[in-house]
Amino acid sequence: MTTTAAINLFTPLMMADLQLPSRIVMAPMTRSRAGAGNAPTCMMATYYLQRAGAGLIISEATQVSPQAVGYPGTPGIHSYDQIAGWRNVTDAVHGAGGRIFVQLWHVGRISHPSWQPDGQLPVAPSAIRPAGEAMTADGMQPFVTPRALDTDEIPGIVEQFARAAANARAAGFDGAELHAANGYLLDQFLRDGSNRRTDRYGGSAENRCRLLLEVTAAVGDVLGAGRVGVRLSPDGTFNDMHDSDPVRTFGTAVQLLNRIRPAYLHVSEGKYDCSPLRRAFNGLYMANSGYDFARGSAALASGTADLIAYGTSFIANPDLPARFADNLPLAPADPATFYGGDKRGYTDYPPAAGRRMAASECD
């Protein structure tokens, strides 16, 4: 009689043609340490290098164009200096045997004229001002009413993502994840609370999914569909998001994504029952929502997920997979140093006793 061992966090996985040594993914986390011109710095290369033991790293959200900017200190991938900065990061990660995807990002209405070229209004599916405040270089200021994109402008948004994917390839990334969650532009198109359009990009769930599908296809054309992932947040309310029927909206999105066959679906689960999305999606399912070792192990063993994304745990534990393997306690993270600043709370978290801290060659 033969037996099959249960899948666990350390079971290798083939993602299309990319071999992952484990199911432990470093989730994308904004840390706001980019340098001049929103270019990645050598300190960022060290940060990612220290975490290269992950089965896969997904970078922090990265702007696809100057129009996509919405926060201070966040990196882009639309200029020569940004591509060069990211090349230092990917070289460091690959030199340590790691794999890294870039998360491509357009914030849409969650911006402010102070971040926009020539002080223009942020763009969005509809001219609906979100509740809350924008983070600007001069402090918090009320969100403005965005400008609704004209129908003939939307191919230009798709092209921004396609160019960013080409730049990501030049920068040495192994693939890309599309940020269609957390109230940013692709998510704004998906949900009827932020999308009141009457053209082919609004109205029905199918129409509201159109931009996500076009972007996914365009990025897949550049990188190969097997090197593209999509992140969704079905019950997310961040950035004043809501939808009248999320089951239909996100169920439709997954069914349509199946036609393009991206490598994985990365879901910020929250309290939403995501099992229908898991069953409906034909690719790999990456779960993300406060997982620890035990819960992640259980999800993989039961087949409710193929990969587990860990966020805050990776901030304070650069050697998180090794700590999991050796059943070592995890260090706590300091929220005061999550966003902006220097190496404190960024590259100075020590590995477990007896392990060496890595540093990039450019640091």
**Angle made by CA atoms 334, 139, 42, in degrees to the nearest 5:** 55
Write down the residue that tokens 């220290």 correspond to. Answer: 50
254 burial level (CB within 10 Å; 0-12, 13-18, 19+): buried
Domain range enclosing 161: 13-337
With cut-offs at 50, 70 and 90, classify the pLDDT of residue 2. very low
End-to-end CA distance of the chain: 54
Mean pLDDT (whole number) for 194-214 = 98
Amino acid 354: pLDDT: 63
Would you say residue 288 lies in a domain? yes
245 to each of 131, 192, 249, 275, how far by Cα in Å? Answer: 21, 9, 6, 16
- Please report, rounded to a whole number, the percentage of residues in the chain having pLDDT higher than 70: 96
Name the helix (H) or strand (E) containing 186: helix 185-190
Quote the pLDDT of residue 304.
Answer: 95
> Is the per-residue pLDDT at 1 higher than 60?
no
The structural domain count of the chain equals: 1
Rounded to 10 degrees, the C-alpha dihedral 256/201/165/101 comes to -50
Using pLDDT thresholds of 50, 70 and 90, give the confidence band for residue 29: very high
Q: Is residue 57 part of a domain?
A: yes
Burial of 125-156, coded b for 16+ CB within 10 Å and e otherwise, reads bbebebeeebbbeeeeeebbebbbbeeeebee
For residue 200, what are the contacts with CB-CB under 8 A and spacing of at least 6? 151, 207, 210
Residue 18: is its pLDDT beyond 80?
Answer: yes
The stretch 280-295 carries a mean pLDDT of 96
Q: Which helix (H) or strand (E) holds 15?
A: strand 13-15
Distance (Å, rounded) from C-alpha 230 to C-alpha 85?
A: 24
Structure tokens, 194: 């932020």
Cβ atoms within 10 Å, residue 215: 28
The answer on pLDDT for 361 being more than 90 is: no
48 catalytic residue (yes or no): no
What pLDDT, in 10s, does the model give residues 168-186?
999 999 999 999 999 999 9
What distance in Å separates the CA atoms of residue 123 and residue 108, rounded to the nearest whole number? 5
Q: Counting Cβ atoms within 10 Å, is residue 186 exposed (0-12), middle (13-18) or buried (19+)?
A: buried
Query: In the numeric block, which tokens belong to residue 148?
Result: 């609704």
22: pLDDT confidence band, cut at 50, 70 and 90? very high
* Per-residue pLDDT at 104: 98
Residue 319 pLDDT > 50: yes
203 pLDDT above the threshold of 70: yes
- Confidence band of 363 (pLDDT split at 50, 70, 90): low
331: how many CB neighbours lie within 10 A of its CB? Answer: 17
Q: Is the pLDDT of residue 356 over 80?
A: no
Mean pLDDT for 317-329 is 96
CA dihedral 28, 43, 22, 307 (to 10 degrees): 0
Q: Is residue 279 part of a domain?
A: yes
pLDDT of residue 5: 66
Average pLDDT over residues 128-154: 95
Q: Could you tell me if residue 309 is inside a domain?
A: yes
For residue 118, give the CATH number of its domain.
Answer: 3.20.20.70
**226 within some domain:** yes
**Considering the domain boundaries, does residue 1 fall inside one?**
no
Say how far apart CA 269 and CA 116 lie, in whole Å. Answer: 32
Task: Please give the sequence-ordered ranges of beta strands (E in DSSP) within 64-181, or none if there are none.
Answer: 100-105, 123-124, 133-136, 139-142, 147-148, 175-179
The dihedral region occupied by 320, where left means phi > 0, alpha psi between -120 and 50, and beta the remainder, is alpha
Q: Over the stretch 54-73, which tens digit does the pLDDT of each residue have? A: 999 999 999 999 999 999 99
Evaluate whether residue 115 is within a structural domain.
yes
Work out the average pLDDT over 316-327.
96
Catalytic pick among 47, 48, 71, 184: 184
d(CA 75, CA 35): 8
pLDDT tens sequence across 84-139? 999 999 999 999 999 999 999 999 999 999 999 999 999 999 999 999 999 998 89
Q: Is residue 8 part of a domain?
A: no
